Amino acid sequence: MTSTLLRPSTAVPLALLVALAALPFVAMAIGQPFWIAFFARIVIYAIAASALNLALGYGGLVSFGHALFLGLGAYAVALPSFHEVGSGWVHLALCLVMSGVAALLTGAISLRTSGIAFIMITLAFAQMGYFLFVSLKNFGGDDGLPITQTSRFGPLNLGSPLAVYSVSFIVLVLATWWLARLRVAPFGMALRGARQNARRVDAIGLQALRYQLVGYVLSGMLCGVAGLLLANLNAFASPSTLAWTVSGELIVMVVLGGMGTVWGPMLGALVFLGLEEVLKGLTEHWMAVFGPLIVLMALTGKQGIAGVLQRLDRVRPAAGTTAVTPAAVAKGGA
């Protein structure tokens, strides 16, 4: 167990989690509350990327429509708030129902196709959601909708960046633990098998399509929770959350971190959004630098950052062993 924790693929993500847990205390101590709001956004996008990883990394479903669920989660807070409903339990229930039903309906249709057709259909559904909320002029339309009643769960009010950060961090930890268990559970094994060869999964008596649909629905609901947290952080919901570019960013985070890995989404979100913020501070033409850097990082490690850390596991000598050299072999032979 100790040797496993010392491996780079485990030690680095755990060290990052510890750093994220300590961040609010450090930010308040140095008088920089901005960092709490900034890293809250990173943690929320890490949750959304983890949700997409369930569909993309585990199930092989390249969804370009997960921004739909993120936006539905945001409006699950904004719409009740517009009617002066601030109960977080109502927001959460509405978020899970809206994102779950949307994922069930869109997934059932999209999974009738595969490959490019699946990508385009999920993209089309997300764009339909985008234009739907743009057309709701009574609720802000294209200008978005301010949130006056943030989610309140009893004494807990998600009206401050610190509260949102704390809840988001707990959700990220629980989601990562759940996805790690799910990955090796019978359901997760069947879902990953369907990604490799759906016909063989069907041949052994399991219905690959059903597993993929359930995985897609669970992925959409978790992404909706990320949208709920994002709306509370911004105190604002906008149709731009449902734009196809947001889905593209989530895919880049998953690929950059490592598809199908446990820690990949968190690593990808940290590097993607952290690098974006650094480059914004250096030059106004940061996009011209950011794009090639992401492409280069993706080409360097085909399994993403998590794959690079896993390769370091194999390079690092096991604890308590002595490196075997040609001289040692010759001496032993003598």
* E strands, the chain, in order: 145-146, 152-153, 156-157, 236-237
Cα 96 to Cα 218: distance, rounded to the nearest angstrom:
10
Contact by Cβ (8 Å): 225, 47: yes
Tokens of 27: 């930010």
* E strands, 89-166, in order: 145-146, 152-153, 156-157
pLDDT at 300: 65
User: How many CB atoms are closer than 10 A to CB 120?
Assistant: 14
Cα 222 to Cα 150: distance, rounded to the nearest angstrom:
19
SS3 for 264-313 is: HHHHHHHHHHHHHHHHHHHCCCHHHHHHHHHHHHHHHCCCHHHHHHHHHH
pLDDT for residue 267 is more than 80: yes
For the stretch 295-304, pLDDT in tens is: 777 676 667 8
Crossing angle of helices 88-110 and 116-135, in 10° steps, is 140
Contact by Cβ (8 Å): 27, 36: yes
**pTM for the whole structure:** 0.91
Give just the sign of the alpha carbon dihedral 274, 296, 304, 252. Answer: positive
Confidence of residue 3 (pLDDT cuts 50, 70, 90): low
For the stretch 168-211, pLDDT in tens is: 999 999 999 999 999 999 999 999 998 888 888 888 888 889 99
- Domains of the chain, CATH where assigned: 2-269+305-333 (1.10.3470)
Lowest mean pLDDT: which of 173-182, 242-251, 303-312?
303-312
